[in-house]
Structure 1
Amino acid sequence: MDLAIANGRFTAVRPDIAVDATRVIEAGGRAALGGFLEPHIHLDKALLEQRMPNRSGTLSEAIRITGTLKARQQREDVLDRSRQVLDMAIRNGVVALRAQPDVDPIQGLIGVETALVLADEYRNALDLQIVAFPQEGILKAPGTLAMMERALAMGAHVVGGCPYNERTWEDTQSHVDECFRLAQRYDRPIDLHADFADDTSDRRFAAAAYIAQKTIDTGYQGRVTLGHMTSLGALPPDQAGPVIDLLRRAEVNIVTIPATDTYLGGRKDPSSPRRGLTPVAALRNAGVNVTYASNNIRNAFTPFGKVDPLQIGNLLAHVAQLGSPDDQAYVLRMATVNAARAMGIADRYGLEAGKQADLVILDTDRVANALLDLPPRLWVVKRGKVVFEAKYEAKIYK
Structure 2
Amino acid sequence: MTDLIIQNAHLATHKTLVNILITDQHIARIEEIADDNANSQDSQSNPAAASYDAQGNFVCGGFYDSHIHLDKACILDRCTIEQENLEEAVEETGKAKEAFTEADVYARASRVIEIARKKGTVGLRTFVETDQKTELRSFESIKRARDTYAFAIDIEICAFAQSGLTRACP
TM bracket, shorter-chain basis = 0.7 to 0.9
- Residue 18 of structure 1, aligned match among 13, 18, 41: 41
1:66 aligns with 2:93: yes
SS in 1 for 2:99: coil
Aligned to 1:128: 155
- Note closer, same or farther for the CA distance 1:53–1:2 as it changes in structure 2 (3 Å cut): farther
Query: C-alpha offsets along residues 250-278 of structure 1, whole Å, 9 cap, x if unaligned?
Result: xxxxxxxxxxxxxxxxxxxxxxxxxxxxx
1:18 CA displacement: 2.5
Aligned to 2:22: 5
Aligned partners of 2:80 and 2:50: how far apart in 1? 47
Contact 2:67 2:126 in 1 (8 A): yes
SS in 1 for 2:70: coil
1:92 CA displacement: 0.6
1:51 aligns with 2:78: yes
- Note closer, same or farther for the CA distance 1:10–1:54 as it changes in structure 2 (3 Å cut): same
1:138 CA displacement: 4.1
Q: How many residues align?
A: 143
Contact 2:132 2:164 in 1 (8 A): no
Contact 2:105 2:142 in 1 (8 A): no
> What amino acid sits opposite 1:58 in the alignment?
N
SS in 2 for 1:101: strand
Aligned 1:74-93 pairs, distance under 5 A: 74-93=101-120
Aligned partners of 1:35 and 1:13: how far apart in 2? 18
Aligned 1:158-197 pairs, distance under 5 A: none
Superposition misfits of 4+ residues, deviation over 4 angstroms: none
Gaps of 5+ in 2: 1-17, 34-39
> What amino acid sits opposite 1:96 in the alignment?
G
1:9 CA displacement: 2.0
Aligned partners of 1:111 and 1:60: how far apart in 2? 22
- Note closer, same or farther for the CA distance 1:13–1:53 as it changes in structure 2 (3 Å cut): farther
SS in 2 for 1:24: strand
Structure with greater proportional helix content: 1
> What amino acid sits opposite 2:96 in the alignment?
L
> What amino acid sits opposite 1:119 in the alignment?
R
Contact 1:71 1:107 in 2 (8 A): yes
Q: Which structure has the higher relative contact order (CA within 8 Å, separation 6+)? A: 1
Aligned partners of 1:3 and 1:11: how far apart in 2? 8
Aligned to 2:144: 117
SS in 2 for 1:139: helix
1:137 CA displacement: 5.9
Aligned partners of 1:36 and 1:18: how far apart in 2? 31
Aligned partners of 1:60 and 1:101: how far apart in 2? 19
1:77 CA displacement: 0.8
Aligned partners of 1:39 and 1:137: how far apart in 2? 25
Aligned partners of 2:66 and 2:32: how far apart in 1? 32
Structure with greater proportional strand content: 2
Aligned partners of 1:126 and 1:80: how far apart in 2? 17
Contact 1:104 1:141 in 2 (8 A): no
- TM-score, L = length of structure 1: 0.34
Aligned partners of 2:164 and 2:67: how far apart in 1? 18
Query: C-alpha offsets along residues 53-81 of structure 1, whole Å, 9 cap, x if unaligned?
Result: 32221100100011111111111011111
Aligned to 1:103: 130
Gaps of 5+ in 1: 144-398
Aligned to 1:171: none
SS in 1 for 2:76: coil
> What amino acid sits opposite 1:85 in the alignment?
V
SS in 1 for 2:150: coil
- TM-score, L = length of structure 2: 0.77
> What amino acid sits opposite 2:167 in the alignment?
K
Aligned partners of 1:18 and 1:53: how far apart in 2? 61
**Identical-residue share of aligned pairs (%):** 30
Query: C-alpha offsets along residues 219-272 of structure 1, whole Å, 9 cap, x if unaligned?
Result: xxxxxxxxxxxxxxxxxxxxxxxxxxxxxxxxxxxxxxxxxxxxxxxxxxxxxx
Aligned to 2:9: none
Contact 2:65 2:125 in 1 (8 A): yes
Query: C-alpha offsets along residues 338-380 of structure 1, whole Å, 9 cap, x if unaligned?
Result: xxxxxxxxxxxxxxxxxxxxxxxxxxxxxxxxxxxxxxxxxxx
